[in-house]
Amino acid sequence: MGRSQQIGPAGRTPGNGPGFAADADDTDCTVLHVDMDAFFASVEVRRRPELRGKPVVVGGTGPRGVVSSASYEARRYGVRSAMPAARARALCPRAVFLPPDFTEYSAASETMMRIFRDVTPLVEPLSLDEAFLDVSGALRLLGRPAVIARDIRRRVREEQQLTCSVGVAPSKFVAKLGSTRAKPDGLLVIPEKRVIEFLHPLPVAALWGVGERAAESLQRLGLRTVGDLAQAPLGMLRRAVGESSAAHLHELSWGRDPRRVVAEQVEKSIGAEMTFDTDVSDPRLLRRSLLALAEKVGARLRAGGHAGRTVAIKVRSADFRTVNRSKTISTTTDVAREIFEIAWALFLALQPTGQIRLIGVRVEGLLTAATASRQLTLGEPERGWRDAEAAADAVAARFGRSVVGPASLLGSRDLRRTENHPHSTVVPLSDPPSRS
């Protein structure tokens, strides 16, 4: 979606005018977009109550790090996600910087999704901290959409000690704009009859698919608001952003978004990356780094009930040249040792020279555990590495990932809690990537 910071929160009475509030007419507004508030930072404050009220930044712990999440106290100083760590520290020197803990965030996300699925089976997660819900089937039992939204917010607050913002609207696009407008800790209903009134004063960057370059192109033509774009001839839009984007943006500018909430999401790949604080050429450190990344990827695969057939690596050198290599195997795997051995062989085959800035491991071609086939290799015991790693998962779930792992990583806290943690890529839902 467009840059949500340009939409801007509307405080306690969100919207562009009267009628855009939590108690507005929600007839036919059966799509909810629920977005957790400063999710990573909020989870950290939940388990460290002494940080409440202080500026907290997740990420940016290394000189080359970037901000993953910032509490609203830190945002008052101008700190934003994706901002370089050096810039964030300059803006807010007294902020508490914490390394990301994606195991904790994933667990919190799973709990959130269970709350959503208690309301409706039609839940479409977009990321760890946001989801679309279609509540049309829940109206008879649970009441009006706004009532359902208020109950979700109450449960999240009472059961998880976290807050979320909810947009209630007739379509996905408008509901997502609504949740952004309602932040933080708010609820906004956008009545079907007033969608155009809500949309047209917004900047063009609010539209899905309008990035910085497209916004600049549109603004050069004098198209600064969604309303300006809606009234523009299609030929003008085509010259600015191309044929397909012109039609897409024109439809959105009039509030037309026919996409349904899709409950089934199939993960396409799971991977992990790390950016080194200083460029690295030591093969022993690179080998241990790949092992740490393979451990993370294997754990994420098993936790999600997935296995994959393709192992890929990404290597970025000091001059920012990036090389990707992959290998597809005959069976599926979710075993970190197997992932590492393939990744290391791919790395050696590159014969890298010079300094390396970033390294990553990814498993692609995912299947669910129920459909994935696994074939024992010659000489492999029936109960081997996978059983050992599954047992380590159980220990890590109780005591933390730092207490168990390969002997070669013992004491390597920086390698096992990397700046860029595992992330999943999901099959696109015909939306441009979110930039909120």
186 DSSP assignment: -
The answer to whether 338 is a known catalytic residue is no
26 among the known binding-site residues?
no
- 164 bridge partner residues: 36
Point out the catalytic residue in the list 124, 130, 267, 419.
Answer: 130
- C-alpha span between 6 and 167 (Å, rounded): 17
Rg (alpha carbons) of the chain, rounded to whole number: 23
Long-range contacts of 116-119 (CB under 8 A, 24+ apart): 116/34, 116/152, 119/148, 119/151, 119/152
Helix (H, G, I), strand (E, B) or coil at 33: strand
133 DSSP assignment: E
- What count of other Cβ atoms lies within 10 Å of the Cβ of residue 60? 27
What's the token pair of residue 169?
């609207």
Distances (CA, A) of 297 to 61, 201, 294, 347: 21, 44, 5, 17
Q: Mention every residue, 6+ apart, whose C-beta is less than 8 A from residue 178.
A: 14, 33, 166, 167, 168, 169, 188, 189, 190
Helix (H, G, I), strand (E, B) or coil at 130: strand
129 among the known binding-site residues?
yes
The residues annotated with a catalytic role in the active site are 130
| Residues in binding site | 35, 129
| Residues in binding site for Mg(2+) | 35, 129
